Amino acid sequence: MKQNEILEMLSLSPKTESAVKTVFTKKNFDEIIKTAYLGETLDYPLLRRKPLTRLAAVIALLSKKYEDYKSLGASEEIIAETFRDVALRANLYYERTGKPGISKEDTLWFRHIIHSEIFKIGALQFQPFEMIYLDEEFLGEPYMNFSKTQKEKLPSGAQVINCHIQHGADLSTEAVKESFIRAQAFFGEVYPNIEFKAFLCYSWLLYPEMINLLPKSSKIKAFAKNFEIISKIQDSEQAFENLFGKAYKRPPKIKNATNLQKLAAENPKAFGFACGIKYL
């Protein structure tokens, strides 16, 4: 698929799209694309480029990754929805900075698309994964704790489907249910020789103390019910970054705050990080 066709698929803001097109014409752009994600570590050359160049390079690479996704068996809908994560993050970056581009963190995240290993299927994103436990045994330093029984039931390295929640994802009960059903069927077709044991989700949206404070009508509360919470930790960094855009020890009170932002400002210790499992 050509770069302009990818741009049309993404539906970027007019200013961002125009800026990206100017980068496409640079003399050294082909070399930037070739080296963008080279290397065996996560210190990719593209991370050392300017935000707009990072965005343009990722979009150019999508035109090459399109055929890879097609060959895996992904439909046009799944490919388009997967690639639009680039537009989502680019638009959020523009809202924060007033400039076109993407952050280093988002550039690093897009390695999953470059490796053709993440798929947006309905409301959620999914990727084939090997079970990891974020504890001292895996990290080399204390963090989360998991029971011996849990590790025996789902051993480290077991094949799972990692679940991610995009900013603004539709977490209505029906949308989430459909997403899980479609994802299980899709992964069964695309990876017929792999027996996936469970959906895995590490997220601040699963933290029990926060969930307990949400109203019964909360979509986040309903989403969390899909998972068996197997560990938690009072680490609010991911939560506050998602809610306020920066890492705060205590979240600020802001004008026109959402209900969740108000809850975080009033009950900061109720926010943390949890691991959930949905067995197949």
Query: How, if at all, do strands 273-279 and 228-233 pair?
Result: antiparallel
Q: What are phi and psi of 92, to 5 degrees?
A: -65, -40
Sheet containing 228-233, strands listed edge to edge, beginning at the edge strand earlier in sequence: 119-121, 124-130, 159-164, 198-203, 273-279, 228-233
Residue 140's Cβ-count burial label (10 Å; 0-12, 13-18, 19+) is exposed
- Residue 202: the pLDDT is 98
CATH code, residues 118-280: 3.40.630.120
Residues 197/279, Cβ–Cβ less than 8 Å:
yes
**Alpha carbon of 277 to those of 133, 214, 243, 266: distances in Å?**
12, 21, 24, 29
Cα dihedral: 148, 203, 100, 74 (round 10): 80
CATH 3.40.630.120 in the chain is located at 118-280
Q: What CA–CA distances, in Å, run from 215 to 54, 77, 210?
A: 41, 34, 11
Residue 16 has pLDDT above 90, yes or no: yes
Is the model's pLDDT at 227 over the cut of 90? yes
Q: What is the DSSP-derived secondary structure letter of residue 41? A: S
Confidence of residue 171 (pLDDT cuts 50, 70, 90): very high
Q: pLDDT per residue over 180-204, tens digit each?
A: 999 999 999 999 999 999 999 999 9
